């Protein structure tokens, strides 16, 4: 596949890009930091299957929607055709930090919801214009239920999940396959310093499960898989219980 990835310079995105390159997919990287994108591109070229050409890059920031169209156009020109667009980028901060810093709160909400939705709209238009394709976006189990530790971050991810579900319902018959990946806690630089809960995942495993979902066109995938059952229980807990517990 010809794949444009937004957010491939660290964590899950880097692991996913490496696995796609190793199996022979052609990649184009999008992100905020051109220097880091260049380093990631050279790393992928060294790891890629022999048939994979050079990996291109373009600047794209979820907080700057005016740059989305140009970034995706650059990817389409470099690859010849977009078969898939993957979004692993996003922002995270703890609930306490978000409550105490309105500017940071606004950035997280814009990046994780409105910015991601607007980027997906640009991707959706291009994929449909090319006859269809795959759009895979990373959400979070935090969006499955309103919970004390992730009120604000979870709200952004909940809205994103509903958008992706609606997109799948509206456009799958036209050839757009939408995949929402919902990781639980994953050990990455984003979660450094936070208490590690049970069922914590590793970037490489989450990336592998996401790629399987991308290939199969599964609309929703939890990773690690046990989170599907954990969240099924949490979604059914009464509000009175949720008010008393801390998770």
pTM comes to 0.92
What band does 188 get if pLDDT is binned at 50, 70 and 90?
Answer: low
Three-class SS of 4-65: EEECCCCHHHHHHHHHHHHHCCEEEEEECCHHHHHHHHHHHHHHCCCCCCCCEEEECCCCCH
Domains and CATH numbers, the chain: 2-244 (3.40.50.720)
Average pLDDT of the chain?
A: 92
- What percentage of the chain has pLDDT greater than the value 90? 82
What band does 190 get if pLDDT is binned at 50, 70 and 90?
Answer: low
Helix spans in the chain (H): 11-23, 34-47, 68-79, 95-100, 102-109, 116-129, 151-171, 203-216, 226-236, 239-244
Is residue 123 within 8 Å of 177, Cβ to Cβ? no
What band does 186 get if pLDDT is binned at 50, 70 and 90?
Answer: confident
pLDDT given for residue 49 in this prediction: 67
pLDDT given for residue 198 in this prediction: 60
Whether 144 has a pLDDT exceeding 80, the answer reads yes
pLDDT given for residue 184 in this prediction: 80
* Span 48-98, pLDDT tens digits: 766 667 899 999 999 999 999 999 999 999 999 999 999 999 999 999 999
pLDDT given for residue 191 in this prediction: 57
What band does 229 get if pLDDT is binned at 50, 70 and 90?
Answer: very high
pLDDT given for residue 195 in this prediction: 62
What band does 192 get if pLDDT is binned at 50, 70 and 90?
Answer: low
Sorted by sequence, the CB contacts under 8 Å of residue 162 that are 6+ apart come out as none
Is residue 120 within 8 Å of 134, Cβ to Cβ? no
What band does 46 get if pLDDT is binned at 50, 70 and 90?
Answer: confident
Mean of pLDDT values over 139-150 = 94
pLDDT given for residue 48 in this prediction: 76
Question: Distance from CA of residue 48 to its chain's centroid?
Answer: 22
């Amino acid at each position: 596949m010809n794949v444009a990835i937004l957010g491939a310079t660290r964590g899950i995105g880097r692991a996913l890009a490496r696995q796609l390159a190793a199996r022979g997919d052609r990649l184009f990287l999008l992100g905020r930091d051109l220097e880091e994108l260049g380093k990631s591109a050279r790393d992928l070229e060294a790891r890629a299957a022999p048939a994979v050409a050079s990996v291109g890059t373009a600047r794209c920031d979820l907080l700057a929607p005016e740059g989305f169209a140009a970034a995706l156009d650059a990817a389409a020109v470099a690859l010849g055709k977009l078969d898939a667009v993957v979004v692993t980028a996003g922002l995270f901060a703890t609930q306490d930090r978000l409550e105490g810093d309105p500017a940071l709160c606004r950035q997280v909400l814009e990046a994780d919801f409105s910015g991601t939705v607007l980027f997906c709209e640009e991707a959706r238009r291009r994929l449909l214009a090319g006859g269809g394709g795959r759009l895979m976006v990373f959400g979070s189990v935090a969006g499955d239920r309103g919970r004390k530790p992730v009120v604000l971050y979870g709200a952004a991810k909940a809205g994103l999940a509903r958008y992706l579900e609606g997109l799948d319902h509206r456009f799958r018959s036209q050839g757009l396959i939408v995949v929402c990946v919902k990781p639980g806690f994953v050990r990455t630089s984003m979660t450094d310093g936070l208490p590690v809960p049970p069922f914590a995942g590793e970037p490489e495993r989450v990336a592998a499960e996401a790629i399987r979902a991308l290939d199969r066109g599964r609309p929703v995938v939890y990773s690690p898989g046990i989170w599907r059952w954990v969240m099924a229980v949490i979604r059914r807990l009464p509000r009175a219980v949720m008010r008393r517990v801390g998770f």
